[in-house]
Structure 1
Amino acid sequence: MLAQQNIRHLSLPELENYFTTIGQPKFRVKQVHEWLWQKHAHSFDDMTNLSKDLRNKLAAEFTLPALQVETVQNSEDGTIKSRFKTSDNHLIEGVLIPTEARKTACVSSQIGCSLSCKFCATGYMERRRNLNYDEIYDQVVLINQQSEAAYQKKLSNIVFMGMGEPLLNYKNVLKAIERISADDGLAMSPKRITVSTAGVAKQIKQLGDDKVKFKLALSLHAANDKKRNEIMPINESNNISVLIEALNHFYKQTGNEITFEYILFQNFNDSQKDAEELIKIYRQVPADLVNIIEYNPIDAFKFHKPDEDTIDAFMTILEKNRVNARLRRSRGKDIDAACGQLANKG
């Protein structure tokens, strides 16, 4: 017996063809498509404008796996972290980060991660599998519902900065963004979406060739190869000069915004020399912004956050050299929801 196909993995023409073969009128296709992508049905029984016979037939021939919210944690600063369960019982995390100006969803792209970045809790987890595009889409839908319930506002932004390396799940991430930005999906502008990568040069170039419309962030975190190799093993095969070339290709092809992410670690990458090396990289790429990020401790990694004077001195060097830099204060630290802390704890 053939395994049932996930109905959301059918393209619109395939769905139309299926309904033609079972003798259903064309308007049924539109109804079902709306339930799948706009009304967010979690089962065929939810599709109340279809006959019971048709719902039963669809349930017999297709699956409709949907992400479920397993637990929710609320931070003192308003951040909401959710643990989601997939239909095959894996767990992932997503975060709603609210500010006055924005309501941002931080979403995951993989179950676990294979890159082993030393400062990231997810990097110590085994990579189980890639998330399907409909599972990524569900995360956004569920976090948007939380935003509307808690803040009476829809999501304004999405960042792919949760669990996993988005560019190692290339097709599903792009397909999810296509659905999120589609008029018959969530209709969010891709200019409000940022994909963050630890630095997969080949795929960064591919993003350029594919003329994507979303923003790109590079998790740099060290401004020379020796230090970056220590904390990000991917640098051994994707070093800084290779990444600079890939980012320039991406920008030349798309003109899209590029951001550098740089976590400050005490006595590791927070000196004047480190700042000067970061400035050199910044000047080789048409980057819009350098996000300087507070380090959020994890049990497995024995680095610390620099003191405020060191952070201020680092920022001053960047600003004096006309680097567009912003210090990003972490949100949701008390519930392990901040940058680098997602690991299905709590």
Structure 2
Amino acid sequence: EIAKAVASESDIIIMDEPTAAISECEIKRLFKIVKGLKEKNVTVIYISHRLDEIFELGDYVTVMRDGKHIETKAVSDVRDRTELIKLMIGKTVIESYTKKNQQSSETLLEARGITNSKLKNISFHLKKGEIIGFYGLVGAGKTELARAIIGADKYHGEIIYKGRPLERSPDKTIRRGISLVPEERRSQGIFSILTIRSNIPVMNMKKISDGLFISRHKEIKAALEFIDKLDIATHSCEKEVSKLSGGNQQKVVFAKCLFAKTDLLLLDEPTRGIDVGAKGEIYGIIRRLSEEGKSIIMFSSELPEIMNNCDRIFLLYDGNLKAEIENGSDIDSENIIHIVTGGEIACK
């Protein structure tokens, strides 16, 4: 794609996270190409979360946050990474995280040395009823880790769940009590042309079956139970899921997972594409499930989401687990951004 753009001989070339999926050697070659284009008076708009790249290549830097323009200034006028980080995060504060009075000592899941083409020796553990979060920017490896746990991607290493090794196939993982709420809700999380009633039981059809046949009565009962439990806004369980709002579609995905008798929920960007009000409802569901003893692993690129909901926070950068942080009032959001943009670690 980069070669095609350069060969087009355009006056302006836009590069959106061009180094997210290439090696270090290829990154160096890309930088030479960008600098060569600059010498030929080609304008390059370079979009990146990696601050070191901005400082190396940029003449001017524009900071965007939540779809809004924050500031544009010459790179030579930027004092250091800290100044950019402050512009990027604004006044990020912990608004609603409340530390649990008591945390279970029972380990539900332990990952040991998870490694594949993207992930590099990832190890961590999860307690029963705990919410942990993996935070990183585009290309950090969050989705790849979620897919490895659910069994969709191959990996080296070992995952122990409830004292036994976890099988490496999604169907067996689901039967063990682990479900994934995927990042791409519309293409991977729901059957959009089917009704709410038809969507909710799909991960546990045995529960609504009478022998070889589906019990319509059981199917409707299950749908109505979760419409009530998760407060899905609909006048009927016969409504097509495609006609629901983004937030209510996400609630249907949660309902699917919970109907499958899930003890561990993997949430990949759980509030992407939904409005602020619906986000609050999803967060309420997450906390309530934790209080009921469910364990949750959240994978998100939204720092406030991670800080406001997770008991422990793991920071990912380029497939590496860079730091683990205990959540609390003294958490340093600027240091978190510093680490996930490739800065040197200043916390444990």
Same fold (TM over 0.5): no
Structure 1 or 2: larger strand share?
A: 2
TM-score where L is the length of structure 1: 0.28
Flag the structure with more relative contact order, 1 or 2, with Cα contacts below 8 A and sequence separation at least 6. Answer: 2
TM-score where L is the length of structure 2: 0.28
